[in-house]
Amino acid sequence: MIEEIKQDAQERMSKSIEALKNNLNKVRTGRAHASLLDNISVEYYGMDTPLNQVGNISVPDARNLSITVFDKAMIAAVEKAIMKSDLGLNPQSNGTLIRIPLPPLTEERRKDLVKVVRGEAESGKVAIRNIRRDANSDIKSLNKEKEISDDEMHQAEDEIQKITDTYVKQVDELLVKKEAELMEI
């Protein structure tokens, strides 16, 4: 029973790390990468469709993205969706290809992005701590129902704390890596 609780906590914590990685990928650094456009949806035949399903996104160099749209009639809608996103990008099309130049980040903007990244990391830590709290309350309820002894409860809580510490350390490592990436010129 305790193993199941630990396994569940570990799976949920690892999902929290994945969610944090996805959130950090959304934060723009100085370099172009295709995942920057992952959250943009385009209206395609009345349905919101992810941008990567209506076109091929490529990175020709460190400061540019390009999109080859499958359906040429969609070019205007793709440009509009990119401009409406909160990324601050200005797409330019030449009829068949959409080029997106990424403006260089100013020092002030980099510092703002570092604050955003720290907030995301803190949210990740809070999620992990909430999972720890849930697991510990499950263990305490097992103890109240006399299914496990006090010693087993304390040992299980210690093990869950070690798991939590491991995942919090991963969050810190991701944060340090992303901050360095943001401050790199």
DSSP code string of the chain: -HHHHHHHHHHHHHHHHHHHHHHHHHS--SS--GGGGTT-EEEETTEEEEHHHHEEEEEEETTEEEEEESSGGGHHHHHHHHHHSTT----EE-SSEEEEEPPPPPHHHHHHHHHHHHHHHHHHHHHHHHHHHHHHHHHHHHHHTTSS-HHHHHHHHHHHHHHHHHHHHHHHHHHHHHHHHHH--
pLDDT given for residue 63 in this prediction: 82
32 has pLDDT over 80: no
Whether residues 114 and 152 fall in one domain? yes
The model's pLDDT over 35-88, given as tens digits with 9 standing for 90+, comes to: 778 778 888 888 888 888 888 888 888 788 898 988 888 888 888 888 887 677
Whether residues 14 and 40 fall in one domain? no
Proportion of the chain above pLDDT 70, given as a percent: 97
Whether residues 89 and 112 fall in one domain? no
The model's pLDDT over 121-141, given as tens digits with 9 standing for 90+, comes to: 999 999 999 999 999 999 999
Threshold 0.75, pTM exceeds: no
Whether residues 11 and 63 fall in one domain? no
Residue (of 37, 171, 36) closest to 117 by Cα position:
171
Domain count, the chain: 2
The model's pLDDT over 109-123, given as tens digits with 9 standing for 90+, comes to: 788 888 888 999 999
Whether residues 61 and 89 fall in one domain? yes
Domain harbouring 161, CATH code: 1.10.132.20
Whether residues 148 and 163 fall in one domain? yes
> How far is the C-alpha of 137 from the C-alpha of 52, rounded, in Å?
42
- Final residue of a structural domain among 75, 101, 127: 101
Q: What are the C-alpha distances in Å from 124 to residues 16, 36, 157? A: 6, 20, 21
- Final residue of a structural domain among 52, 79, 101: 101
What pairs with residue 68 in β-bridges? 56, 97
Structure tokens at 9: 């906590």
Whether residues 74 and 90 fall in one domain? yes
Range of the domain at 143: 2-26+106-183
pLDDT given for residue 29 in this prediction: 65
Mean pLDDT of the region 11-19: 94
- Final residue of a structural domain among 63, 86, 101: 101
> How far is the C-alpha of 100 from the C-alpha of 84, rounded, in Å?
14
Whether residues 50 and 20 fall in one domain? no
Mean pLDDT for all residues in the chain: 87
pLDDT given for residue 129 in this prediction: 95
pLDDT given for residue 171 in this prediction: 95
Task: Quickly state the pLDDT bin for 89 (edges 50, 70, 90).
Answer: confident
